[in-house]
Amino acid sequence: MELLYGTTNPGKLDAMSRALAPLGLTLVGLRGLGLPIPVVEEEGNTILENAEQKARAYYKAFGRPVFSCDSGLYFDELPEAEQPGLHVRRVNGRSLTDAEAQEYYGAMARRHGGRLTARFRNAIFLTVDGDTCFSSADESLASPPFWLVEKPHPRHVEGFPLDAMSVDPATGRYHYDMGETLADSAETYRGFQAFFQNILPVLRERL
């Protein structure tokens, strides 16, 4: 069963595809359509609102079931006013490249002794036909807590700059040195798998 994932990020498409393959879902990204991709201004006040804005815009453009996700980054040590939240990659009005994101968050970790306790909160919005929609921003979608450290790992996967800076608190080892990434970890995607498992009957009926 093929489903459109509203992303142009190859790393995100690959990670989600592998997570949902056991459910019999095959994902295609926006670039895989070979069509003009609309620019969506993410103006929501929450990650769920941003996910909804993207999914509805892509459904309007392509006329097929589509889901989009959005994430927010939060640190245990920072007050609410200093949280990146929705603006993980957007700083001072511009979107950071992977290298700039690593430099920016490395400096932030440096100011707090070399590491911060972090987690990604995630949201998903899927529209089947414009009226039939499913969404969640449940805590089950959040990443496991990790340390974001000052010095990046030498390995780099395009689209996931902070994976290179993520360290497992239990072992003190980079996720890359453990043979996985934060985006690949089973715990990260367990909530997404449960989300799709619950709506599979509707998808099978409509797709």
Catalytic annotation, residues: 70
Q: Are strands 2-5 and 66-75 parallel, antiparallel or unpaired?
A: parallel
How far, in Å, are 55, 65, 73, 107 from residue 113 at the CA level?
39, 46, 19, 10
Core vs surface per residue 38-54: b (16+ CB within 10 A) or e: eebebebeebbbbbbbb
Element (H, E) at 166: strand 166-168
Using CA atoms, how far apart are residues 203 and 52, in angstroms rounded to an integer?
Answer: 18
